[in-house]
C-alpha cells in the first residue's frame, strides 16, 4: 500500500466546517485508500514586526506587503517541514500557498479550492498590497504547483483561473470536486411550506441584502412565506422585517446545534445565494443532500454545482432582487417542476458532491486509475 504523509496548517481535531472540515474530510478519505504515515501540522505565528508594519502602512493608506506569507514566515514553514520530512513516503499537502518554499524530495500532491492569485482577487483589495510583493508569492506558487505530481482542485473554474493567472499548462491539474460537511439523510424529508434560507458568514457580500429585498416582494404575494437567516447578522432593521427569522451562527461540531441546523435544512423550500464573491460554496451541496434547490449567482464555480433549471436557478444578475423574487415565485406556483427539481438537486449532490466521491477521484488519480468521474444530470 502506498505510504503518504499528510501536511496541513490546521489542527486535525477541528472539524467544525469550512477549511477545517475540508481538511479533516480529505485526511479521512486518504486513510481509506493509503497508509498515512504521519499527520504533520505546521502553522508558525506571524512575525509581530512585519504584521505591525503592514497594519501601520494600511492605516496611512500606503501599500503594504502581504505579511501572512512574508518570506521570513514561508522560510520558517519550509525549515520546520524539512526537519519533519519523512523520506519514505509521498506527501499530500492541504492547501497551496503555505508550502511554496518547501522542496519535497518525493512525489507530492496538494488540494485546494483556488490559487493565491484567485483568492487575493476575490477576497482582498489588491490595491492595498505592493505589486512586487504579490508577484513574489505568485511566482513561487506557480513554480511549486508546476512541480507537484498532481494538483487537485474543487472546481474546473478554479483550475482554469490558476492556469490563466500563472501561465501554466495545467497538465498535472485535476478537478475532483468537494463534499459537504453534514450528515446525508436517507431521504428527502420535506413535507411542504415555503421556508427560504440564507446562510453565510458574510451577510452583504454573499447577497444578503438582495435576498431580503426579494423576500419582501414575495411576502406581499404569499403571506405564509418565511426567511430563515443563519450566520452573519443582517442589519437590525432587516431583522425586524415580517417573516425574517435570524437564527444566529450554528456550530455543527456541537450535536444539539447540528440537529437544529438539520431541522432547518429539512424544512427549507429554497436556499438563496446571490453572492458577489465566492469560489464554490459548500452550502449548495449540503442543502442538495436534503433535496433543497438553490437560486444562486451564475459566477465562480457555482454553475458546476447548481445546474440551471434542473437543480436550481442561476441568476443573470446577482444584484437584481426582482429577478430573484420572480424565480422564487415561479417555483411556488409550479409544484410539479419544483418537486422534480428537488429530486435532481438531491441526486446530483449525492452522485457527485460527496466526500466518498472526492476521495475516490483523488485516490484513482494517485494510483493511475481515472475510472471515477462525474455523473451528468
- pLDDT digit string, tens, across residues 209-235: 999 999 999 999 999 999 999 999 999
Strands 268-273, 294-297: parallel, antiparallel or unpaired by DSSP?
Answer: parallel
- SS3 for 304? helix
pLDDT score for 16? 64
Helix (H) or strand (E) holding 81: helix 71-84
**How far apart (Å, rounded) are the C-alpha atoms in residues 171 and 32?**
26
pLDDT score for 58? 60
The cell 485516490 sits on which residue? 363
DSSP letter assigned to residue 308: B
pTM: 0.92
pLDDT score for 14? 75
- Whole-number Cα distances in Å, 219 to 63, 215, 227: 46, 6, 9
Question: Using N-to-C axis directions, what is the helix angle for 116-123 and 156-166, rounded to 10°?
Answer: 100
DSSP letter assigned to residue 106: S
- pLDDT digit string, tens, across residues 232-266: 999 999 999 999 999 999 988 789 999 999 999 99
Distance of CA 337 to the CA centre of its chain: 28
Residue 334 backbone class (left: φ over 0; alpha: ψ -120 to 50; beta: rest): beta
User: CB neighbours of 65 closer than 8 A, spacing ≥ 6?
Assistant: 50, 53, 54, 129, 130, 133
Q: What grid cell was written down for 183?
A: 450528515
Q: Which of 23, 116, 104, 112 is CA-nearest to residue 69? A: 116
Q: Which of 6, 34, 10 is CA-nearest to residue 360? A: 34
pLDDT score for 134? 96
Residue 240 backbone dihedrals phi, psi, to 5 degrees: -85, -5
Binned average pLDDT, 10 residues per bin, the chain of 377 residues: 93 78 94 94 78 57 80 95 83 98 95 97 89 96 98 98 98 96 94 97 96 98 97 94 96 89 97 94 94 97 97 98 98 98 98 96 88 77
Amino acid at each position: 500500500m502506498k505510504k503518504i504523509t499528510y501536511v496541513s496548517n490546521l489542527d486535525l481535531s477541528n472539524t467544525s466546517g469550512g477549511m477545517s472540515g475540508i481538511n479533516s474530510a480529505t485526511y479521512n478519505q486518504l486513510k481509506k485508500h493509503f497508509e498515512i504515515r504521519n499527520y504533520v501540522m505546521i502553522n508558525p505565528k506571524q512575525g509581530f514586526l512585519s504584521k505591525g508594519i503592514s497594519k501601520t502602512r494600511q492605516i496611512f493608506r500606503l501599500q503594504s506587503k502581504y505579511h501572512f506569507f512574508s518570506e521570513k514566515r514561508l522560510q520558517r514553514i519550509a525549515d520546520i517541514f524539512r526537519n519533519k520530512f519523512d523520506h519514505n513516503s509521498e506527501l499530500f499537502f492541504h492547501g497551496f500557498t503555505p508550502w511554496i518554499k518547501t522542496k519535497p524530495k518525493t512525489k507530492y500532491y496538494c488540494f485546494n479550492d483556488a490559487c493565491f492569485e484567485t483568492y487575493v482577487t476575490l477576497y482582498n483589495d489588491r490595491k492595498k498590497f505592493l505589486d512586487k510583493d504579490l508577484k513574489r508569492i505568485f511566482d513561487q506558487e506557480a513554480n511549486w504547483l508546476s512541480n507537484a505530481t498532481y494538483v487537485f482542485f474543487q472546481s474546473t473554474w478554479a483550475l482554469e483561473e490558476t492556469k490563466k493567472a500563472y501561465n501554466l499548462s495545467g497538465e498535472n491539474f485535476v478537478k475532483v470536486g468537494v463534499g459537504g460537511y453534514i450528515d446525508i439523510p436517507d431521504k428527502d424529508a420535506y413535507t411542504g411550506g415555503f421556508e427560504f434560507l440564507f446562510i453565510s458568514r458574510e451577510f452583504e457580500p454573499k447577497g444578503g441584502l438582495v435576498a431580503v429585498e426579494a423576500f419582501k416582494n414575495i411576502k406581499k404575494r404569499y403571506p405564509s412565506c418565511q426567511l430563515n437567516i443563519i450566520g452573519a447578522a443582517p442589519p437590525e432593521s432587516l431583522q425586524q422585517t415580517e417573516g425574517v427569522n435570524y437564527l444566529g451562527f450554528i456550530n455543527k461540531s456541537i450535536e444539539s446545534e447540528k440537529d437544529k441546523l438539520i431541522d432547518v435544512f429539512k424544512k427549507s423550500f429554497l436556499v438563496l445565494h446571490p453572492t458577489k464573491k465566492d469560489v464554490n460554496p459548500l452550502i449548495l451541496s449540503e442543502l442538495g443532500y436534503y433535496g433543497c434547490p438553490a437560486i444562486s449567482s451564475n459566477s465562480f464555480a457555482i454553475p458546476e454545482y447548481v445546474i440551471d433549471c434542473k437543480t436550481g436557478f442561476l441568476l443573470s444578475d446577482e444584484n437584481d432582487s426582482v429577478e430573484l423574487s420572480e424565480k422564487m415565485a415561479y417555483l411556488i406556483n409550479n409544484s410539479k417542476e419544483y418537486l422534480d427539481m428537488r429530486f435532481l438537486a438531491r441526486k446530483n449532490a449525492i452522485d457527485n458532491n460527496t466526500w466518498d466521491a472526492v476521495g475516490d477521484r483523488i485516490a484513482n488519480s494517485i494510483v493511475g486509475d481515472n475510472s471515477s468521474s462525474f455523473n451528468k444530470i
